[in-house]
Structures are given as C-alpha cells and as structure tokens.
C-alpha cells in the first residue's frame, strides 16, 4: 500500500490562517486557501457544521501535489466573517460559495463535501440541473454527513433525531470541556484526535464571536425539511459522477447507507473506511486520500 502521508505534523490555527486570505464576496470576507499552481484540475472542499476548513489540514499537502485545491470557511465559521444577528440560510451560503468560485475562475472542479457541506452540494446540483450556474463540476465526493435521500427524518412527527442532534450541538458549545468530549465521541478511536488539535478547532470556532451561531442551529434542521424534495430530486436528476467516502463507524450517520439502499435511489460507488468515524479526513487521512486519489 502506497504511503500518501509521510509528515502528519500538527499545524496551529495561526499557521493555518497564514495559508489563506480573506476574499471579498458580496458584503462579506470569505477565508480562502487557494494552493494555486499550474494544475489543470481543481478540488474544492466544503466543510461541515460548527467546523471549518481546518478539518482538512492533514490531507491538503498530498491533494495539492496534483490539484489546485480550494478550501474555504463558510460564512459564520472559522476565519470568515460572521453574520450580524441573522441566520445564513443554506441558499445564502450557496450564493456566496458559487460567487467565490466564479471570482477564482474555477473549472474542471471535483467537489468534496461532508456534514453540512453536503446540503450545499445538493443545492449546487439543483442549480446545475436547472442551468442556474455556469460552474462546471466534473465529479462529486460526499463524505459522512446529511444527504436528503429519505424524508423520514424531516417529518414533523419525527423530531427525535432533530432534537437530539441540535441539542447536542448547542451543549457542545457551552465550554471547551464539553466540546472536547462530544467531538471525541465522533471518532471511532478518540486517540486519533489530540487535545491540541481540538483546542485549535475551538479557537477557530470562537473566532469573532463565532459561538453566537448556536442561536440558529434549529434553523438548519428546519431547512432540511423545507428543501428535502428539491435536494432529493437534484440527486436523482444529476448527470454528475458521484461517489461516497464513508467512515464506517460513524455514530451520527450510521444508518444512512441502509436507508439509501432501501430507497433504491442511487447506485453510487461507496468506499467504506474501516475503523473510522464521522471525520475520516482527520481520523484516517491515509485511507481517505486513497479513496479520493484512487491509489
């Protein structure tokens, strides 16, 4: 098996911030890392909720050897600007994402997303299907997270998942100690994430009063219900090549694959990563890279 990661050295939030810059998009500044280079093909990555582009610090060096890689912090997260007392909807987020890509002149895009970013990806697909964006996406990798295949979790009569998940998100932001405990539970092997790494993630989460977004967590779950039909149809109708890279031991989305097979909506290729939880790019970066790069 080829070794893709030879130096898995830690990087601080400050050093991560130095890798990127703030790009003005509409009325906000979006923290963006653009590895540039002369590569013809481009990988763009959308991170999950209550997180940031920092989740991909272990895999960035290898990806950038053969691709131009774009990492961005979504509005309200990481080092990007924060909304002023308003919830930035998934539709808003997608507007800013696509405008950034347009400003950067991206083409031949391979899109990778996880968690919350998966919902933005399906919204992008919906727009692409209806010729509402000129961005050309060649391939999509969905990683562990929410994909609107089955409507059951979006119904008013089924609130358990929504309430438990959103309340856990809110509680994890009350203190670093609680945050650390819950994030470690997202891993199959909690020793794969260090307290030092968690502290850097926490610093970015707190940046510029970032924890204030907890007031809007419930809105995110409400949107999943409102747009479920649009996003499910986007997945059915797309002609894009789609693959799934899934940490097999994910406690958050452990039942998703069974649901997708039951619905018989997709014939996506699925790469399961053994002994890996919700964040395989952090927990098992070597295996994650092999799935993306096919080595």
Assigned fold of 13-293: Rossmann fold (3.40.50)
Where in 26-64 does DSSP place strands (E)? Answer: 28-34, 42-46
pLDDT tens per residue across span 99-111: 999 999 998 899 9
Helices (H), the chain: 13-18, 60-63, 90-104, 116-129, 160-172, 176-185, 195-206, 217-226, 228-237, 256-263, 280-283, 285-293
Instruction: Please tell me which of 49-58, 142-151, 162-171, 202-211 the model is most confident about, judged by mean pLDDT.
Output: 49-58
What is the rounded distance in angstroms from the CA atom of residue 114 to the CA atom of residue 142?
6
pLDDT tens per residue across span 52-86: 999 999 999 999 998 999 999 999 999 999 987 77
pLDDT of residue 127: 96
Whether the CB-CB separation of 216 and 79 falls below 8 Å is answered with no
Q: How much is the pTM? A: 0.91
Provide DSSP, 199-221.
HHHHHHHHGGGGGGGGGGHHHHH
Judge whether residue 113 has pLDDT over 50.
Answer: yes
pLDDT of residue 125: 95
pLDDT of residue 262: 46
What is the rounded distance in angstroms from the CA atom of residue 147 to the CA atom of residue 268?
13
What is the rounded distance in angstroms from the CA atom of residue 18 to the CA atom of residue 96?
22
**Helix/strand/coil (H, E, C) string of 277-291?**
CCCHHHHCHHHHHHH
Mean pLDDT of 151-171: 57
Position 161 confidence tier, pLDDT thresholds 50, 70, 90 = very low
Position 48 confidence tier, pLDDT thresholds 50, 70, 90 = very high
Residue in this structure with the two tokens 């977004």, named with its chain if needed: 213
What is the rounded distance in angstroms from the CA atom of residue 45 to the CA atom of residue 70?
6
pLDDT tens per residue across span 195-251: 999 999 999 999 988 887 776 766 777 888 889 889 989 998 998 999 999 999 998
- In the chain, where are the structural domains located? 13-293
Judge whether residue 145 has pLDDT over 60.
Answer: yes
Mean pLDDT of 123-140: 93
Query: Looking at residue 105, what DSSP letter applies?
Result: T
pLDDT of residue 280: 97
């Amino acid at each position: 098996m080829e070794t893709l990661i030879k130096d898995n050295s830690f990087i601080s939030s400050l050093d991560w911030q130095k890798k990127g810059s703030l790009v003005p998009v509409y009325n906000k500044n979006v923290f963006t890392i653009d590895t540039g280079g002369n590569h013809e093909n481009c990988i763009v990555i959308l991170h999950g909720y209550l997180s940031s582009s920092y989740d991909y610090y272990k895999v960035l060096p290898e990806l950038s050897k053969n691709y131009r890689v774009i990492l961005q912090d979504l509005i309200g997260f990481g080092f990007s600007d924060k909304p002023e007392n308003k919830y930035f909807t998934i539709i808003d987020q997608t507007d800013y994402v696509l405008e950034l890509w347009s400003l950067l002149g991206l083409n031949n895009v391979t899109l990778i997303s996880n968690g919350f970013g998966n919902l933005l990806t399906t919204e992008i697909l919906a727009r692409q299907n209806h010729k509402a964006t000129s961005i050309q996406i060649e391939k999509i990798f969905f990683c562990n997270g929410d994909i609107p295949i089955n409507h059951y979790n979006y119904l008013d009569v089924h609130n358990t998942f929504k309430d438990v998940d959103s309340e856990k998100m809110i509680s994890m932001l009350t203190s670093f100690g609680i945050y650390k405990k819950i994030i470690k539970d997202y891993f199959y092997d909690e020793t794969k994430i260090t307290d030092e790494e968690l502290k850097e993630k926490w610093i970015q989460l707190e940046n510029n009063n970032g924890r204030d977004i907890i007031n809007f967590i419930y809105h995110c779950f409400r949107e999943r219900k409102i747009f479920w039909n649009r996003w499910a149809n986007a997945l059915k109708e797309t002609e894009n090549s789609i693959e799934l890279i899934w940490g097999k031991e994910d406690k958050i989305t452990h039942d998703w694959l069974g649901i997708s097979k039951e619905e018989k909506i997709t014939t996506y290729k699925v790469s399961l990563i053994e002994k890996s939880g919700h964040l395989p790019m952090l927990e098992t970066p070597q295996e994650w890279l092999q799935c993306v790069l096919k080595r």
